[in-house]
């Protein structure tokens, strides 16, 4: 993803979630103050990333390049987690400020910066000598998902305040358990919350300080259902695990829309698959009956029935499909998130 160039006024940059502020090894000529939002600081490692930190409003990023005039390269990559605004301060402008300081204060600043840079170089050397990632990198491993859903179910079920709008829990409490007790990284928690918010499995509301850190969940038992599913998937061989492509997901969505209008007989409805195929053709979408095969393999429907006029139907257990569809959507959102994080920097 390209470096953000959108500006509201001179010195202000606005980044969308996932948008890069800069990449590792980019030429550096500025530092930034985070005015609003959050940035993740990370370094590529093998086919994945080493997460270094999450920076928030009021913090400075990119300043170390100023104190390394021999290189003036970015030592890590930075990207927005949520909509973020940063104030850019050029090194030229900062140099003028430094020049106006007392000599002893300038010496103190440069000494501290030099010590920090030396520590960073030692950490980098240790990382380069460590074992890197092997195989396909996944930011969210199956074990991570089981752990995260377990944490969310436990904390909301036992610690959240039940109110009219749902179960309310402050991010501070969630983090104290997830990070301090269960040793889950803050970055992983932030990304997981973003995924759940995208799928409308939780909401973020302002807390007493006006910050979007109050998490609202309608039903914590939903987390238990997801936890049970992902745990059961871990016990299966890979070729037996549920896999539904994005095309098949779109097909399933139209199946559900049609099934919702039909009267069930013994819990099942007969869906006209060719009507759905014709719908995709009408909108020039490259989705056909073959893309529904994954759903058939997963037993989301029965065998196909073909009439003399070419009509193809199948029986659907609508209630079962309705209960499984949120899982299918979440699986694909997580898969997409993993793919984005596994990409090498552009």
Q: What is the pLDDT of residue 204?
A: 95
pLDDT at residue 123 is higher than 90: no
Class of the domain covering 12-129: mainly beta
Give me the mean pLDDT over the 47-56 stretch.
73
**Calpha distance 123→22 (Å, rounded):** 21
Domain segments of the chain as ranges? 12-129, 142-241, 246-324
Give me the mean pLDDT over the 224-236 stretch.
92
Nearest to 72 by CA among 13, 127, 20, 30: 30
pLDDT at residue 130 is higher than 50: no
CB neighbour list of residue 258: distance below 8 Å, 6 or more residues apart? 271, 272, 275, 276
Asked: is 246-324 a CATH 1.25.40 domain? The reply is no
Which helix (H) or strand (E) segment holds residue 338: the answer is helix 318-342
pLDDT at residue 321 is higher than 70: yes
Q: What is the pLDDT of residue 177?
A: 87
Task: Dump pLDDT digits (tens) for 256-268.
Answer: 999 999 999 988 9
Q: Which residue has the tokens 């969308």?
A: 16
Weakest-pLDDT range from 8-17, 76-85, 121-130, 134-143:
121-130
Task: Dump pLDDT digits (tens) for 83-95.
Answer: 999 999 888 887 7
Q: Are 301 and 276 in contact (CB under 8 A)?
A: no
pLDDT at residue 234 is higher than 70: yes
Residues in the chain: 346
**Do 12-129 and 142-241 fold alike per CATH?**
no
At the topology level, CATH places domain 142-241 in Arc Repressor Mutant, subunit A (1.10.10)
pLDDT at residue 274 is higher than 50: yes
SS3 301: strand
Give me the mean pLDDT over the 304-333 stretch.
93
pLDDT at residue 111 is higher than 90: no
**Calpha distance 244→293 (Å, rounded):** 9
Burial group, residue 334, by CB count within 10 angstroms (0-12, 13-18, 19+): buried
Task: Dump pLDDT digits (tens) for 143-162.
Answer: 889 999 999 999 999 999 99
Nearest to 270 by CA among 330, 230, 317, 310: 317
In this prediction, residue 109 has a pLDDT band, given cuts at 50, 70 and 90, of: low
Q: Are 54 and 90 in contact (CB under 8 A)?
A: no
Q: Are 148 and 175 in contact (CB under 8 A)?
A: no
Q: What is the pLDDT of residue 230?
A: 93
pLDDT at residue 337 is higher than 80: yes
Q: What is the pLDDT of residue 5?
A: 42
Radius of gyration of the chain (CA): 25
Q: Are 271 and 255 in contact (CB under 8 A)?
A: yes
Cα four-point dihedral sign 271, 273, 278, 284: positive
When the pLDDT of each residue in the chain is averaged and rounded to a whole number, the result is 84
Highest mean pLDDT among 129-133, 139-143, 302-306, 307-311: 302-306
**pTM of the full structure:** 0.63
């Amino acid at each position: 993803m390209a470096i953000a160039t959108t500006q509201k006024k001179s010195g202000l940059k606005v980044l969308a979630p996932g948008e890069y502020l800069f990449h590792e090894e980019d030429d550096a000529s500025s530092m930034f103050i985070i005015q609003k939002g959050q940035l993740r600081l990370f370094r590529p490692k093998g086919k994945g990333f080493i997460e270094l930190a999450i920076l928030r409003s009021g913090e400075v990023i990119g300043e170390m390049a100023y104190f390394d005039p021999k290189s003036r390269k970015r030592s890590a990559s930075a990207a927005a987690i949520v909509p973020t605004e940063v104030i850019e301060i050029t090194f030229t402008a900062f140099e003028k400020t430094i020049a106006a300081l007392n000599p002893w204060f300038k010496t103190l600043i440069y000494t501290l910066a030099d010590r920090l840079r030396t520590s960073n170089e030692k950490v980098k050397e240790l990382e380069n000598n460590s074992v890197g990632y092997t195989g396909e990198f996944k930011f969210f491993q199956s074990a991570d998902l089981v752990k995260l859903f377990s944490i969310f179910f436990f904390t909301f079920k036992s610690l959240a305040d039940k109110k009219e709008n749902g179960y309310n829990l402050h991010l501070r409490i969630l983090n104290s358990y997830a990070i301090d007790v269960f040793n889950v990284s803050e970055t992983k928690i932030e990304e997981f919350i973003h995924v759940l918010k995208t799928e409308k499995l939780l909401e973020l509301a302002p807390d007493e300080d006006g910050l979007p850190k109050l998490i609202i969940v309608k039903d914590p038992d939903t987390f238990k259902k997801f936890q049970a599913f992902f745990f059961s998937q871990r016990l299966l061989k890979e070729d037996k695990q549920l896999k539904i492509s994005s095309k098949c997901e779109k097909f399933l969505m139209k199946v559900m829309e049609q099934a919702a209008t039909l009267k069930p007989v013994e819990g099942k409805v007969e869906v006209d698959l060719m009507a759905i195929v014709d719908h995709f053709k009408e909108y020039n979408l490259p989705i056909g009956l073959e893309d529904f095969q994954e759903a058939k393999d997963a037993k989301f429907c029965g065998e196909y029935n073909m009439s003399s006029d070419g009509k193809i139907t199948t029986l659907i257990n609508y209630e079962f499909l309705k209960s499984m569809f949120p899982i299918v959507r979440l699986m694909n959102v997580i898969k997409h998130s993993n793919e984005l994080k596994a990409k090498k920097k552009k």
